[in-house]
Amino acid sequence: MDRARLSHLLARESAEAGRRNPRSRAAYERADHLFGRVPMTWMNKTAAGSFPRYLDTARGARITDIDGHEYIDFCLGDTGAMAGHSPAVVAEAVQRRFGTLGGATAMLPTEDAEWVGAELTRRFGLARWSFSLTATDANRWAIRLARAVTGRPKILVNSYSYHGSVDESLIVVGPDGSGTARPGNVGAPCDVTLTSRVAEFNDLAQLERELAHGDVAAVLMEPALTNIGIVLPEAGYLAGVRELTRRHGVLLINDETHTFSAGPGGCTAAWGLEPDMLTIGKAIGGGIPAGAYGLSAELADRLLDRSDLDLVDMGGVGGTLAGNALSVAAMRATLEHVLTDEAFAAMAGLAERFEAGVCAAIDAQGLPWSVSRLGARAEYRFASPAPRTGSESAAVADAGLEDYLHLYLANRGILLTPFHNMALMCPDTTRQDVDTHTEVFTAALAELV
Ligand code: PMP
């Protein structure tokens, strides 16, 4: 890779973004009252020049910005809009609940909740469900329940996994092979090794060594890593995790927030996994904040039988707006009508086409890159063969190259998730959308090499 050429192209694309988006740039420059000039500091990671493009409208797989440009959206709110932006049936359900019936948050259950619980059981197998508004909170509460029920203090995660802003999860395998704080962790409440253990994905020997300490309540993991590229499990790894966790009396929590792309019941159903608990967020509300965690009937009964645990008031599990009527109505409409079994089959087919297009472009330039796919989601990484652990994948990150590709695509009407080279298909994505990406991506590589 000619780095000088890359810098030149990146500067060119950055200048082009400035020319194309004067209104977005002006809005950003005016935003003096926002911390970092954005509603959420991560919005500065847009990989789209020195300011973010501002959202105007979004419907299905399309977004427009306030400068009047239209985009094919493969970012889909980093999975929050995997159902497509504002699907009509979800909009109607939300309108009915909020407008016609009234009452988004009344501290009373609605009958939609049992429908959603039953549907999540059908898809993922876990027998009992509770709700949150984010995947982060679903993970936080699952972790608390796991510690309560096992009486053990620690949580184990995979190195370079991401489970939201969950304190216990911000740990990586350090250079000497032991756990250490994830670089950049902001304001940790304590040394993370007091609360957590860590193992590399696909490394059963390391997992076994860590579990042997006997202090781990739960392994919290994605069945495939999706936040450091996609790292797929090797044959026998997930079965090994299940066997080791059972042998050491450790609960297994599958975080299916992103791996939901694997199918209607995520990897858990697609690969016949048997977690004790499961967490999910983002997509299941069709764009309305929603999350959920599921647990086995046996685990639920054991927890409810414990008179020392305050599961009703201020015991640390729950939120005032969690499970609210609006969020639950949105989940029902999304699961019943949009992210259906049939929709997943079509989305996976499109992701396969996307993967083939990217592979062909990479091969044509002879680049040592790889592409991984998980159902409706595909991602390329600047290494071949594909990395097999989180740390390996972190080591091949290339911010400049990523920025160039993201900017090149954005300037030509295609959005990827800013934190990844990731593309996600929604029920409204078309073959033509995928082929347009292949064309533009091929041109981006041709200019580079
Ligand atoms: N779990 C996984 C696997 C995620 O990828 C994320 C966010 N990227 C979260 C949890 C946290 O989701 P949220 O920020 O919506 O709480």
Question: Are residues 321 and 400 both part of a single domain?
Answer: no
Which residue's alpha carbon is at the smallest distance from atom 8 of ligand 1?
Answer: 164
| Helix (H) or strand (E) segment spanning residue 55 | strand 55-59
Residue closest by Cα to atom 7 of ligand 1: 164
| 142 plus 67 within the same structural domain | no
How many angstroms separate the alpha carbon of residue 313 from the centre of ligand 1? 26
For residue 164 and ligand 1, the question of a CB distance below 6 A is answered with: yes
> Which DSSP category does 225 fall into?
B
The residue among 303, 338, 373 that closes a domain is: 338
Residues 384, 352 share a domain = yes
Same domain assignment for residues 220 and 142:
yes
124 close to 269: Cβ distance less than 8 angstroms: yes
Tell me the residue range of the domain where 352 lies: 3-82+341-448
- Torsion angle of C-alpha atoms 125, 347, 159, 390, degrees rounded to 10: 140
Q: Is 430 found in the same domain as 299?
A: no
Ligand 1 center to residue 283 CA distance, Å? 10
Query: Is the same domain home to 224 and 157?
Result: yes
222 lines ligand 1 (CB under 6 A): yes
- pLDDT attached to residue 108: 97
Q: Quote the ligand 1 centre to 433 CA distance (angstroms).
A: 26
Per-residue pLDDT of the chain (449 residues), as tens digits, is 799 999 999 999 999 999 999 999 999 999 999 999 999 999 998 655 689 999 999 999 999 999 999 999 999 999 999 999 999 999 999 999 999 999 999 999 999 999 999 999 999 999 999 999 999 999 999 999 999 999 999 999 999 999 999 999 999 999 999 999 999 999 999 999 999 999 999 999 999 999 999 999 999 999 999 999 999 999 999 999 999 999 999 999 999 999 999 999 999 999 999 999 999 999 999 999 999 999 999 999 999 999 999 999 999 999 999 999 999 999 999 999 999 999 999 999 999 999 999 999 999 999 999 999 999 999 999 999 999 999 999 999 999 999 999 999 999 999 998 888 899 999 999 999 999 999 999 999 999 99
How many folded domains does the chain comprise? 2
Residue 420 Cβ < 6 Å to ligand 1: no
Examine the domain organization and report whether 273 and 124 are in the same domain.
yes
Report the atom number in ligand 1 closest to the C-alpha of 139.
10
Minimal-distance CA residue to ligand 1 atom 12: 135
- Please tell me whether residues 292 and 413 are part of one structural domain: no
CB 227 within 8 A of CB 381: no
- Pair (178, 303) in one structural domain: yes
The CA–CA distances, whole Å, from 436 to 21, 76, 357, 419, 439 equal 22, 17, 10, 21, 5
- Give the position, in ligand 1's atom list, of the atom nearest the Cα of 161: 3
DSSP 91: H
133 lines ligand 1 (CB under 6 A): no
40: domain CATH number is 3.90.1150.10
* Residues 268, 376 share a domain: no
Final residue of a structural domain among 313, 338, 363: 338
Residue ending a domain, among 338, 359, 381, is: 338
Instruction: Tell the residue nearest (CA) to atom 4 of ligand 1.
Output: 163
Same structural domain for residues 300 and 442? Answer: no
CATH of the domain at 219: 3.40.640.10
Task: Name the closest-CA residue to atom 2, ligand 1.
Answer: 163
Classify residue 443 by burial, with Cβ atoms within 10 Å: 0-12, 13-18, 19+: middle
**CA nearest 207: which of 220, 194, 216, 198?**
198
Find the 281 Cα to ligand 1 centroid distance in Å.
Answer: 7
Query: Does residue 78 share a domain with residue 173?
Result: no
Query: Does residue 256 line the site of ligand 1, with CB under 6 A?
Result: no
What is the residue whose two structure tokens read 């202090």?
Answer: 215
